[in-house]
Structures are given as structure tokens and as C-alpha cells.
Structure 1
Amino acid sequence: MHSGDEGVVVELGSRWRAGDAAVLLGGIRRALARDVPLTLVHRGAGGGSLLQAASGEWPRLRCREIVQGRHASFRPRSPRWTQYRLPAPDPASGPAREPAGVAISGGLGGIGLALASRLAAAGHRLWLLDRRPAAGLPAAALRRLAAVVTRTHVVVDQVDVTAAVPAAPFPITRLVHAAGELDLTPVGELADDDLERLAGGKAGALRTLVRALAPAGLRSVVAFGSTESRRPHRLFGGYALANELLRREAARLRQEHPGMRVVTAEWSLWSAVGMGAAAAAMAGRAGFAVVPPDWGVQVTEQLLDERRPAPEEIALGGPQPTPDRPLAAIGGVGGSSLTMDDASVRRLVELCRPGRAARHRPVGPRDRVVRAQVAGHTVYTWGSGCRDWNTRTPRRTG
């Protein structure tokens, strides 16, 4: 960390390391104390999400982020995107027909059990990993787990996947990383050690899981992140940083395992299940999109199927879908369009480019991120490389 009369500069490396939390929090505190701008410079370590959360708590805090020699502050940049249709679940298709061995970290949580129910119906063998013991689950969760056990082969292991992964009980070819921790603490009250634990937990667990399972034939990974990593709200600084680091770790794993599909699903709140179920109910009443569990697990099942094309990153949140426009997107920020059927896609195209027939191309190997943006009554969608996320409404063409 360097500081002077003109500002504070925090330099991190190519990946998040032990001690970075203290350095970054120290930079924020020093910039606030001196009332000077804060610049974060790194080559892939991350940390910008924490600065955004801190800026939300202290509006006078001026921050920017510089990554690998390119300017990546919170100001918009010129987009370079093309329209693209994200494959959507087909309610009439039913479960996938090819059973596989699937591991689910956080498998005894609300989302984990909802996904297990869906995968059990398709005959997949399930390995549920969780820190909590199955015997300590609430009665409703125990009944759901018992129903899953009656439909397929299920093994439950109580384990902290941030530390180690036991030997798999059967060949695992697909992994869902749904484990995580929600700690709503203001950035100003975060202790260095607490942020250190929160920041690297999800990313470290993902790497531990992949390292353990890849040698035996792991082919597909879906890592559950959060839209908070893109535009965090107040109190979500540690949570946002954990999910930002998860996204960055997933990108590294793609490079290290080119034959493995790794998708980062940065969901909004799930309704009725998961850590944010109560908050999701309020968000839904306020008009924001939440993920219906039945629909969310169906999408996840499709993302797990490495035979299907899919982008590497998906973000989902924003304004509530309507029967006329069953679309979820991050309004005014950016996100992924997830359409429910072909008719929805046609309506979406009409909204995107009124008066013109826009063709959607299938996903290609270079498609990494899918976006949708709501501006007034118009929905814009496009696909792009991972560096093209921004907050500006794209210019309409044609």
C-alpha cells in the first residue's frame, strides 16, 4: 500500500493471497481518514466489489480499479457486443436421459436439496457434501432428503470442502458448488481476519473440489455465485468479494482444464429456498426478479450437461418477469437474459429491435457472457467477452 497527498494506491497480484484482506481494508481506512482517492491495482487478484460496497457506505470515498494495464473503473466503457439467445429450459423436455454421478457442495441446504430432487428424478447418483450433519436438518428438509433417497443412490458426507474432500463414493463427472456463507456486516465493521475468511472461502472450496475430482473424470462444473459480485448493496461487501473471487477462480480453472466445462451462475435470490429466502419474498413484492426453485434447478441441470452449449458466466436478477415478457435481467446494470420458450424469444427480439427481424445465433466457443438490459420499455440483449461488462445502455443499431 502506498499513500500520499494525492491518494492511496493498493497493489495486489495475479490472484488473491493470504493477507490481501488486511491490505485492502487498510487502504480503505487510510483513504477515508485522509479524504483522498483510493486506487486498486492488480493483475487478476480482484477486490473491486469490496470497493463498490465501501463506496455505497461512504459516498465520499472515491475509488477506481486498474486491472492488467487496462482501465476498469466503475465508469462505463464502449461496448462490443452481438445479440445472442441463451438456451432456455423447455418445460416439456423432462429431465436429461443420461444418468451421471453428481456432487453437490452445500447439498443439504435449501437450494442443494431442491437441485437434488430434480437430479434424482433423472436417475443421477448424488453425493451431497455439507458442513452440517443430516440428522440436524429441520423436519421439512429431512422429508425432502428422504424422498430423494427413495429415487436414486445418495451418499451424504459431513465435510468442510474448504479444507479437504473425501474420496468419492462413485465416479463423479458433474459438480455443483452451492456451498457458501452469508454474513451481512458493514465494511467499516469488518475485521481483517473475518474478511480473510469470507473472501477466499467459496473460491478456495471450488479449487479444492476440482483438484480432488478432476483426475477421476470430472467434465462439468456449475459454481453458484451472486449478482452482488457485480453491483453490491450495502452490508454485502464481504459476500460480494467472496463471489467475485469465485468468478475469478472459475476463470482460472477453465484455463487449467480446457476439456472441462466450468459455468459461473451468478443468481439473484431464490424464492422459498436458500439463505436469502426471507429477503427474496420482500424483493419479489418490491418488483425484483427472484429465481423460482423449480425453474432454477431445471436451468442448472441444463448447464451441467456438457453436451449443451452454454456461456461461461451467467448473471440473473433485476426487474420481475411478466407473462408478456418472461425475462429476468438486471435493470440498468446488465445481466443475462433467460427466456422460457421460443415465443418469449420472439417477443424479446421484437423488443430489442422494433420493426426488424433479428436472428439469434447459437452459442459459439468464444461466447463467454450473456447480457440483458432494461431501459424504459425496451430490452437489450447481447453476448460478449468477459471484459465487456459495463453499466451503460448499449447504443441501438438499425
Structure 2
Amino acid sequence: MSQRLPSTDWPALLRCAPHFSRAIVDALCGSEPDDFAPLVRAVYYFDLFDAQVSNGGVDQYFSNVAAHLADASMVPGIIAANPVYAPVLPLIEEAHAIWTTVADAYREDDEDDEREEDDDEDDDLLTPHAERMETIATAFYALHHAIRQRLEEDIVRDPHRYFAVAPVPGLHGSGVEHVALADGAYRLRFVDGFPIGPNVFENGDGGCDVVWFSPDRTLLQCEVAGWAAQRERHWIHYPSQASSSWTSGEDFMSGALQAVRNDREALGLGHHGLHETFNAQGLRTSAQLYWHGEELCSEHIYPDGTPQLRIAPHAGGKRWLRYWPGGALNTESIEDRDGRDRYLRCLDEQGADLAPQGTGRLVEMLSLDDGMRQWREGELVGGFLHGTVLRWASHPDGSGARETERTFYKNGRAA
């Protein structure tokens, strides 16, 4: 069996941080993956499975990958060669057991020219397994970020098991070393042959990336280029998988400069801890607190720094507190057991009660930013919206008001 490893060098590998395994997948995608050592071949096939199942489900993996492999039944055994994947191996095996039962009929359908009919036939083949496939995908998704970071931890612990690290002229792997290459000037700091750092990579475009590890390699910190012109700073403590990211640059939706702090587990998409957004002046615009992906409370903030909206749990639902610009309370509402929003208070900017005992007029601020002020008006009966509710928008100072939406409510429910 081949013991070939993908080739890289220290600068190239470090600049993949925090996702060092990317260098493995990139190398194997450009070659014949089965020509590589079992440990790294497992990474490639796991990546194929993960990319499909975590983004589209088991059926997407069948359609995009399994149906095009010479023998998909070999995949679980290939992935099992890397012990990192042991926690999810039963799920991978179960998915391939389903594939084995439908593979022949599935391929026969694919050979038919009538593709629209084939799609329906493929769905029919998988229908008896739909519930199991959904369970597999859900369970796998809950684990895949943690598994990926266990792989990164294993690579950092002993990169020579995964890579043939090629020499770089000027780097000897001892102490602090400087080298100038075609794509920039580098400064690396080695301890016992490993680049603990801080390792600094000055790019030809004037940018600078930094990667460094704790002496025992359990903590990684890095600052690298992000999406578009953004900069990203990540850290992860591998044993606990506690992690966080800071992203600064233009918001891809609005184009406004902002910074985002995002506490996470295993550098995954789910939140764990504090998530904060700041504008270009450093003022906080929103904050959310999470516990293993569950939002505990949140706050949105006006440009003047006063609260705009606060959301917190309440009796199995949520409680909303909305404020006028300047900090005076506007409305207090809760999510009723039947899903309706029940208003407990509605106050004007001077604090006068607009709906005593829950009946009266609703005037509710929705948002205020540099370009627009939004609010809605309607009637409350017994704490619930009733009748026509109008949504309005204007300039920030209230001038130029125009109606943007109208919705009819009956006893708290949109008709």
C-alpha cells in the first residue's frame, strides 16, 4: 500500500491556518487520491462525504459522489484508516449501507436518457430510507465541525504524518529565521523543529499574515486574509475546542465598514458565547449571547448607543422590549403560548400609556440608522394587534414619511 504523502513546505502549510487540512484536499484533488497513504486518503474521502451531507443531505452525497465512484462501499473502510473519524464512522457506514441497497437500481436510472423522470424514480428509490437518511445527516452535522478540528489538532501535533515537508532555501528549522521568497518576506520561529511562531508572512500586496502556537501546540492563533478585503483573526484551544473569530472590513450586504466578534465551538458555524457587531467608529450595534447554539438573549443598539431592542426568554417563548431613540421604553411584548405576540405596554416618547390594559393605539419603533427610520402603527385590543397595521419609513429625522406595508390582523394573527 502506498505511503505517499502530499508535498508542502512550512510557509505554504502555515498559510492555510486555521484549516491546515485544506492543503491535503487540494493536493489530492489534483492527483489520484488512491495513490496516497491511508491516513491522508481518509481525509480526502471524508471531505467528499462531509461536503455533501453537511450541505445537502445523504441523498445529495449519493447523487454527486457515490453514484460516480467505482465502488462506494469501500469508502467507510478508507475513512476508518484515520482514527480521528471514529466518532462519526457508524454514521458513514450506515449511509453506505443504504447506498448498497439502492446502488444498482440508482445507476440503472442514471443511464436512462429521460432525466426528469429519472429524478422522480431516484426519489422513489430513496423514499423508504428518507427518515434514516435525515437522522444520519442531522447527527453527522452536529459533529462535523468538532471532527474537522480534531483533524487539525492531529496535524498540528505531528505534521510529518500527513505531509512530506519540503526544504525551503534559507530555512533550517532552528530558532528565528528570515527568508525572502517571490511572494513576500517571511519570519519564522522554530522550536524543536516546529514553527511555533509568531510566524509573520509579509505579502507582496502590503498585507501581513501571522500564525502562532502555544509551546505545547494546544492553542492556535492566526490573523489572515478573509473574504473579499476582510481581515480575520481566529483562535482555537484544541483540547476544549473553545474558539473565537474577529472579522473586520466591509459588510458584504451593505458595504459598510464593521467588525464582528463571534465566539464559537470548533470554529464552526454555530455560536457559543458572545456574538457582537461594531461599526466603523467602534460603537456596538448588536450583541447576542449563546449557549451551544441556543440564543439566551440579544440586544440591538441605536447609533447613539442607547438600546433599540432587547430579547430574552420568557415562559418557553420570548420577551421583546423596544425603545425610543434616547433610551425610553416604547413597547413590551411577549410570545403567547399559541404563538401570538401579546403587548403588555405601549408608551409614547414621553412615557404616556397609549394602550391602557392592552387596548388602544400602537406606535412601535422598528429601526433607525443613517439612512432610514422605520416604525408601525395600528390598534391593540386586549393586548393583541387588531385591524389594519401600517408600516412606515422616513428620513432619520422623521421627515418624508411614506407607507411601505399594510397588514390586517384579527385578534393577534395576520389575516
- Whether TM-score is above 0.5 comes out as no
> Larger Cα Rg: Structure 1 or Structure 2?
2
TM-score, length basis structure 2: 0.23
More strand, by proportion: 2
TM-score, length basis structure 1: 0.23
